[in-house]
Amino acid sequence: MCYKQLSHVRTNMIKATIFVLLLAIIFYYSLRKLIHESFLQDGKSPGNIYINQKNILHEIKLYTGPENTKAISEEPLVDSKFDVQPIMEGSKKNKHFLHQKNSIHLSLVVCGDRLEESVVLLKSAVLLTDQPLVFHLFVEDHLQKNFQDQLDFWPDSFRNKIFYRIFAIQYPSDQNQEEWWKLFKPCASQRLFIPHILIDVDSLLYVDTDVLFLSPVTAIWEIFSKFSESHTTGLAPEHEDAGTGWYNRFAQHPFFKPLGVNSGVMLMNLTRIRCTKWQSLIIEYYKTYRYKIVYGDQDLVNIYFHFNADELYIFDCHWNYRPDHCMYMSVCKSAEKEGAAIIHGCRRVMHNDQQPAFRSVYRTFKKHRFGADLQHELLPNLKRELSTVASTNCGKVAYIFVKRLQGEVLKILQ
């Protein structure tokens, strides 16, 4: 009799545990849907959902035991393989930007001789953007202090708009550090591991260091509002024309169809990425295709979205305008219509003679003084620089480099 009563009690306890777990799961996904709908309505970042996720998992653990939290998240939200603490930070008075709802989060990876162009990149962002900017900078050790000094030297009116954090370059502790470091370009593969390092950030825009903003960062940030519930990432196509495409003609590994994607300008909903198997699959794909990839981390991104296409949102080429779009003929139709919003000077064209139109834009922003008039100095200087390369293929479509910027400057003046 006593045994039967004990068995009955145990059965009721199991039923109660299952019931609580089901309620927790329903609550979790209802919360995600609610946040997503709110996100679509106001067109802004959905805030720090990571904190909500962590609290929900904590409650489930309290009531049902730690083993039941595995049903919620594919990968651990906090990965012990990383040091998530920054090496350096900006002014404490702006630290609240980290979790301010209207803040824009921007991340880049800086190694080798990329410091100068990284500072010019950030300068282009802050010149045109009114909303608070948070920079998450992954910087090679010997460059960190120099980077901090340059940002701290900015005039107060611009430093008051930013908060920055400088992190060490790092890869999972159970991986071959040197191997990942040397993948394609030095430390470029760092971007693949950002979601599990910036665990207190919901969404961000990752850009390569050879990028310049010709529009406010808020403009591309608004694309997050176009994400469906399944989208984790936004990218532009690698090519516009199948006849000149690399992936469709030469790739020996899977890629996102039809023409692949370019990873130089990358919108990332980190909260959603952390709820996928992103990191473990990236490592798995590297082991499988390491001898077939050519463009390192970008190839791994293409492989991932080949197998997880529903997670990727494709945006137009004027958000990632590259030499490939004008070096033979103009092929980016959205840039012809809208003007380039972001230019990406891959293959060092910001510094060499291959596509001097890109170098002209870079020089203009580099020389521009903080506080100088955008309408009467930046724009005329840009047009003057571009006029000297009018005979080159990209120089023949100089209006693409001017149109969007000119419109944004006029908006600022209104």
CATH of the domain at 277: 3.90.550.10
Query: Structural domain of residue 381, as residue ranges?
Result: 325-413
pLDDT mean over 240-258: 96
Q: Identify whether residues 338 and 300 lie together within a single domain.
A: no
pLDDT at 54: 45
What's the 3-state SS for the chain?
Answer: CHHHHHHHHHHHHHHHHHHHHHHHHHHHHHHHHHHHHHHHHHCCCCCCHHHHHHHHHHHHHHHHCHHHHHHCCCCCCCCCCCCCCCCEECCHHHHHHHHCCCCEEEEEEECCCCHHHHHHHHHHHHHHCCCCEEEEEEECHHHHHHHHHHHHCCCHHHHCCEEEEEEECCCCCCCCHHHHHCCCCCCHHHHHHHHHCCCCCCEEEEECCCEEECCCHHHHHHHHHHCCCCCCEEEEECCCCHHHCCHHHHCCCCCCCCCCEEEEEEEEEHHHHHCCCHHHHHHHHHHHHCCCCCCHHHHHHHHHHHHCHHHEEECCHHHCECHHHCCCCCCCHHHHHHCCCEEECCCCCCCCCCCHHHHHHHHHHHHCCCCCCHHHHHHHHHHHHHHCCCCCCCHHHCHHHHHHHHHHHHHHHC
Look at residues 294, 319, 344 and tell me which one is the last residue of a structural domain: 319
Same domain, 97 and 171: yes
- 332 and 312 part of one domain: no
pLDDT digits over 369-381, tens only?
A: 999 999 999 999 9
Higher model confidence: residue 9 or residue 156? 156
Do 99 and 232 lie in a common domain? yes
**pLDDT value at position 64?**
39
Read off the pLDDT of each residue in 61-87 and give the average, rounded to a whole number.
57
Q: Which of 319, 351, 370 is the last residue of a domain?
A: 319
Report whether pLDDT(401) > 60. Answer: yes
Please tell me whether residues 202 and 329 are part of one structural domain.
no
Within a domain: residue 22? no
How much is the pLDDT for 72? Answer: 42
Q: Give the pLDDT confidence of 231-245 residue by residue, as tens digits.
A: 999 999 999 999 999
- Residues 239, 329: one domain? no
pLDDT of residue 28: 58
19 within domain boundaries = no
Mean pLDDT, range 43-62, rounded to an integer:
43
Q: Based on the domain organization, do 223 and 338 belong to the same domain? A: no
Confidence of residue 42 (pLDDT cuts 50, 70, 90): very low
In a domain, 268, yes or no: yes
pTM: 0.84
- Residue at a domain's end among 319, 339, 366: 319
Task: Tell whether 277 and 171 lie within a shared domain.
Answer: yes
